[in-house]
Amino acid sequence: MEASSTAGGLPKLMEGLVIAVDRKSENISKILDSLVSQIQASGGDCGDCTSFVSQLETLLQWESKDIVAKTAQVVAELAKSESGREKYGNPAILKILVELLKTKQQDLHILTQNCRALGNICYDNDKGRKFVLDAEGLPVLLSVLERSVNETGEGGRTLRNVAAGFLLNLLIGQEDIQKTAIELGVSKFLCSILELDGTVTEGEEASTHVLLILGLLTDAVSSCDSLLDEKLCHVTVKVLGASSSPEIIEMCLELLHGQAENENVKNHLAHAGLCELLVQLLEKHKSLVDDDETRNLMKMACDLIVLILTGDISMNTLYAEGKGRVFQQMVAWLSSGDEDLQITGVLAMGNFARTDKHCIQMVEAGVSKKLLALVEKNNTPSGDIRLQHALLSALRNLVIPSQNKAVVLEDGLVDTVYPMLAIPTFPVVFKLLGTLRMVIDGQESAACKLGRKKDLVSSLVTWCGTEDHPGVQGEANRLLAWLIKNSRDQEVLTVILESGAVPHLVDMLTAEHAVMQNEALLALTLLASMRLADAEAYLLEAKIGDKLARLVNDSRPSLAREMVQNILSLVGQLANSGALQHHLVDSGVSTALSKLSSEENVTSISDQITRLTSMLDSG
C-alpha cells in the first residue's frame, strides 16, 4: 500500500476510534493495532491529527492494561517523526506517561511501550526532555531499569533495550543531569544490562545504547575519577570478546581507551585480561586489515595495550616475571611485518623496561639485540620517526642498570645508533642524546670513543644553543658534561675546548635544575684540573665568575652541602690561575661565598669556605 493511501486511511481510523472510545467498544484494541500498522506504513506522516490527542490521553488511562500499552505504542510510533514529537509530546500526554512508569508492579508491556513513547518524544527534543526531567522522570526511569535487570526472558530484554534507549535520549546534551544520574547509581544498572545482554546477538541494540550512555557519562566525571569500576571493566572486556559487531567493538575500545589514563582502570583492565584479548584479536584479524576503518580500529587496540602498560602495577601484572603472555607476544611483535604491531612491541618494551630487574632480565633474554637490529634498519632520516623514537626510548631504559651497559655496548649500540645524528627531528635527537648519555655512565671506553668524535661534539654545541626544543638543549649540555666526567681523557678535553663547548658548560651553572648545575660543576672542575692553561681564556670569556656568583647568591639558602663542596672544589681549581683568581674576586664570588658561610646548611664546612675566600682575597 502506498503512503498516500495509507495516510488517507488514518483519519477514518481516528474517527472510528473516537466513536469506539465514546461507546467503550470492544473494537478499541483492533483499531489501535490498525493505527500502529498504518502509522508505520506512512513513515510517520499522519497529517493534521491534533484532534486525536484527547482520545490518546483518555486511552492512556483506560482500565484495560492491553489498551493502555497499545495506546502508548501508538504514541511511540507517532513520535518517531519530528512533527509527531511536537504534536504528541504535549504536557498532558507526557505527564500520564511518566505517572504510568511510577506505578509499582506495573505491567511489563505497559512499561516497555511507555519507555518507547517517552524515549521517542525525548529524541532531539529539548522541550520533551525538560518536561520529563521536571516531572522527576530520571529517578523513575532508573527504577524501571532496576526492574528490567531483574526480569528474565524476552520481555525483560526488550524492556532493558527500550529503557536504555529512553535514558540515552534523555541524557544527551544534559551535563548536569548526567552527573545526577551518576550520583543516583545508574552505572550499576548499565553494568547489569551489559552483563545480561552484551554477549548475545539479541542484546546488541541494548548494548549499543548502554555503551553510548557510558560514553556520555565518562565525560561528566572528573579526570581524577572514573566511572569504570572493577566489575564494569570486566564486563566491558567480556562484551568486547564476545561481540562480532564492528560498531560494538569500536565503542568498547573507545570507552576503555578514554578511561585507561586512570591508574585504577589500568589495573582493572590488566586483571580482566583485556591485553590478552586484544593480542588474540589482533593476531586473528591482522591479515584482514585492508581499509582505513579497520586499520584505525587496529591502531586503537594497539594504543590501548601500550596505555595500560604505562601503569606500574598493570605493567608488572602483564610482565609476570618475563613469562606473561602479553610480554612474550610483544617480544614476538618486534619481528612483525605489520608496522603498527611492530611499533606497539617496541613501545611495550620501553614500558616493561621500567625496573632494573626487568631490564636485566630483558637484556639477558636478548631483547636489546632485537631492538638494535631494528635500529640498524631504521637509523637514517628516511626511517619511521615513531619507530625511531620508540626504539631509542626502549634502549635508553634498558641501559640504565649498570650491569647492562657493557653488554649492550658490546652488542654495538654506539655504532648502530650513531648514524641517527643525521636525523633532523628534535624528538628523535632528544631520545638519542639521552640514550648515549645513559650508556656512557661509568663506561670510560665508550665515553672516550664518543668524546673524541668531533662531529658529535660539534653537533652537541649547536644543540646547546637551540631554542626550539628545551629538552634537546638540556640533553646536549648534559651529554657534554657526562663525556668529560666519564672519560677524564685529554683527547676528549681537546675536542671539547676546540669545539666551543666551554661557554655552554659555564651557562649550565645557572640551569633551572640543580642536577644540571652539579653536573656542570663536576665537568668544569675536571677541565680546570686537567687543562687549566688551555681553558683559561675560554673560561674568562664565558665570565665564569659571574655565573658562580649568581649560582651562590640565587640558591644560597637551599644549596645542598654536596653542591657547596663542588663549588669550592671548582673555585679552588680556578684560583690556580692568577687571571681567573682576579676575575673571581672582581665578579663577587669571594663576597658570595662569605655570605654563604653563615647559612645553617653549611656550618660543618664554614671553615673551609673561610679559608678559600681568604686565599682569593689575598691574591
d(CA 238, CA 488): 59
Instruction: Specify the pLDDT at position 104.
Output: 77
d(CA 205, CA 198): 9
Instruction: Specify the pLDDT at position 288.
Output: 83
d(CA 275, CA 565): 51
What Rg, from alpha-carbon coordinates, does the chain have? 37
- In angstroms, the Cα distances linking 191 to 143, 211, 230, 444 are 15, 10, 11, 59
Please determine, for residue 617, whether its predicted confidence score (pLDDT) is greater than 90. Answer: no
Q: Taking residues 320-329, what's their average pLDDT?
A: 97
Are 287 and 294 within 8 A, CB to CB?
A: no
Instruction: Specify the pLDDT at position 7.
Output: 44
Instruction: Specify the pLDDT at position 121.
Output: 95
Helices of type H across 137-245: 137-148, 153-171, 175-183, 186-197, 204-219, 230-242
CB contact set of 485 (below 8 Å; sequence gap of 6+): 447, 519, 522, 523, 526
Q: Residue 328 — very low, low, confident or very high, per pLDDT cuts 50/70/90?
A: very high
Per-residue DSSP letter, 388: H
Instruction: Specify the pLDDT at position 47.
Output: 59
The amino acid that residue 372 corresponds to is L
Q: Residue 565 — very low, low, confident or very high, per pLDDT cuts 50/70/90?
A: very high
Instruction: Specify the pLDDT at position 3.
Output: 35
The amino acid that residue 110 corresponds to is I
Instruction: Specify the pLDDT at position 83.
Output: 84
Give 485-510 pLDDT, tens digit per residue. 999 999 999 999 999 999 999 999 99
Please determine, for residue 28, whether its predicted confidence score (pLDDT) is greater than 80. Answer: yes
Please determine, for residue 46, whether its predicted confidence score (pLDDT) is greater than 70. Answer: no
- The percent of residues in the chain predicted with pLDDT above 70, rounded, is 97
Instruction: Specify the pLDDT at position 16.
Output: 83
- Look at 93-107, 128-142, 599-613 and tell me which has the smallest mean pLDDT: 599-613
- Look at 8-22, 198-212, 570-584 and tell me which has the smallest mean pLDDT: 8-22
Backbone phi and psi for residue 522, each to the nearest 5 degrees, phi listed first? -65, -45
Are 451 and 495 within 8 A, CB to CB?
A: yes
- Look at 251-260, 285-294, 440-449 and tell me which has the smallest mean pLDDT: 285-294
d(CA 160, CA 207): 10
d(CA 93, CA 350): 61
d(CA 134, CA 564): 69
Q: Taking residues 13-38, what's their average pLDDT?
A: 85
d(CA 452, CA 383): 27
CB contact set of 590 (below 8 Å; sequence gap of 6+): 584, 613, 616, 617
- C-alpha cell read off for 502: 666551554
Instruction: Specify the pLDDT at position 26.
Output: 85
- The percent of residues in the chain predicted with pLDDT above 90, rounded, is 81
Per-residue DSSP letter, 618: H
Contacts 24+ apart (CB under 8 A), 547-550: 547/506, 547/507, 547/509, 547/510, 548/509, 548/584, 548/587, 548/589, 548/592, 549/587, 549/588, 549/589, 549/591, 549/592, 550/509, 550/510
Residue identified by cell 665564569 is 544
Mean pLDDT, the chain, as a whole number?
Answer: 93
Report the candidate in 35, 54, 52 with the shortest Cα–Cα distance to residue 44: 35
Report the candidate in 348, 366, 194, 196 with the shortest Cα–Cα distance to residue 282: 348
Q: Taking residues 591-619, what's their average pLDDT?
A: 87
Query: Which pTM was predicted?
Result: 0.88
Q: Residue 90 — very low, low, confident or very high, per pLDDT cuts 50/70/90?
A: confident
Instruction: Specify the pLDDT at position 597.
Output: 84
Per-residue DSSP letter, 27: T
- C-alpha cell read off for 23: 461507546
Q: Taking residues 408-425, what's their average pLDDT?
A: 96
- C-alpha cell read off for 583: 676575575
Instruction: Specify the pLDDT at position 45.
Output: 59
Instruction: Specify the pLDDT at position 11.
Output: 75
Please determine, for residue 550, whether its predicted confidence score (pLDDT) is greater than 50. Answer: yes
Please determine, for residue 5, whether its predicted confidence score (pLDDT) is greater than 50. Answer: no
Give 143-191 pLDDT, tens digit per residue. 999 999 999 899 999 999 999 999 999 999 999 999 999 999 999 999 9
